[in-house]
Amino acid sequence: MHGNTPLLSIRDLKKVYKTRDGELEALGSVTFDIYPQEFVSIVGPSGCGKTTLLKIIAGLLPKTSGEIFVDKNQFDPSREVGFVFQKPLLLPWRKVIDNVLLPIEILKLDKRRYIEKARALLELVGLSGFENNYPNELSGGMQQRVSIARALIHDPKLILMDEPFGALDALTRERMNLELLRIWSESQKTILFVTHGIQEAIFLSDRVIILSARPSRMIKALDIELPRPRTMEVRSSAEFGVYSLEVYRCLELT
């Protein structure tokens, strides 16, 4: 399924929050690898630290201890990571294309050199013709597509997605799952995806990492060997049911 060299290596990652009542251990000790062009999902009980884990990888939160390597190197998350949050977090006063170009400005790169790429990414996410619209003129699903294009603009090695479709209705969410698989396949990116949805995780992923309740540790990394490209029909297959049951059983142990 993957080569021998991981793109992302997490080693004994711990996060302890200092609170008024003492220390709260959010991540116990998490270790895993993700390989180039893999799609990996993380599931676990509410409050187990899934979002905390993504934010540490993205450089948005400091780790307490442990190591993070990308391509075997200590890395600069601002350049090597694209982040898609639970909400699109678009700037309402900026047009769609200018929202996509925001990371280019933050990284102080030449914006003019990226305008064509921004247009190509909007085409990739199915938003050609909406370059000059404002976020409030778009549906929730369309806004989240803009945020996916924004996460891809600076060509990061790794895309982190934190329950990006959690706020969408069930039908839109299913459409976005199919769209995301197409975008992932065409962009050939490596994706680490956090979700509460066990079926969503299985449908999207090459592997599902199951975390325990806080302080979280990895219970299992489950290989999902369903054929690709995947369609909604695979969800009604016997194999899909077996994977679902296995994830539920693992979560019941936590």
Q: Return per-residue pLDDT of the chain as tens, 254 residues.
A: 555 789 999 999 999 998 898 898 899 999 999 999 999 999 999 888 899 999 999 999 999 999 998 877 666 777 889 999 999 999 999 999 999 999 999 999 999 999 999 999 999 999 999 999 999 999 999 999 999 999 999 999 899 999 999 989 999 999 999 999 999 999 999 999 999 999 999 999 999 999 999 888 999 999 999 999 999 999 999 999 999 999 999 998 76
**Which residue pairs from 16-22 have beta carbons closer than 8 angstroms and sit at least 24 positions apart in sequence?**
16/64
- Looking at residue 80, its pLDDT comes to 86
Kind of pairing, strands 158-162 and 207-211?
A: unpaired
Q: How far apart are CA 89 and CA 212, in angstroms?
A: 29
Distance from CA of residue 252 to its chain's centroid?
24
CA angle, corner 198, sides to 196 and 199, nearest 5?
A: 125
Instruction: Compute the Cα dihedral for 85, 195, 54, 63 and give only its sign.
Output: positive
Can you name the residues that pair with 196 across neighbouring β-strands?
Answer: none
Amino acid at position 216, single letter: S
Going from the C-alpha of 207 to that of each of 172, 214, 227, the distances in angstroms are 24, 21, 13
Residue 3, Cβ neighbours under 10 Å: how many? 10
- Looking at residue 74, its pLDDT comes to 66
User: What are the tokens at 65?
Assistant: 């201890």
Q: Global pTM?
A: 0.94
Kind of pairing, strands 8-19 and 22-34?
A: antiparallel
Judge contact between 57 and 63, C-beta under 8 A. Answer: no
- Looking at residue 2, its pLDDT comes to 58
Q: How far apart are CA 233 and CA 243, in angstroms?
A: 15
Q: Dihedrals φ, ψ of 69, to 5°?
A: -125, 140
CA angle, corner 195, sides to 222 and 78, nearest 5?
A: 100
Q: How far apart are CA 197 and CA 163, in angstroms?
A: 9
Dihedral angle of Cα 50, 53, 54, 55, to the nearest 10 degrees:
120
The b-or-e profile of 133-164 (16+ CB within 10 A means b, else e) is ebbeebeebbbbbbbbbbbbbbebbbbbbbbb
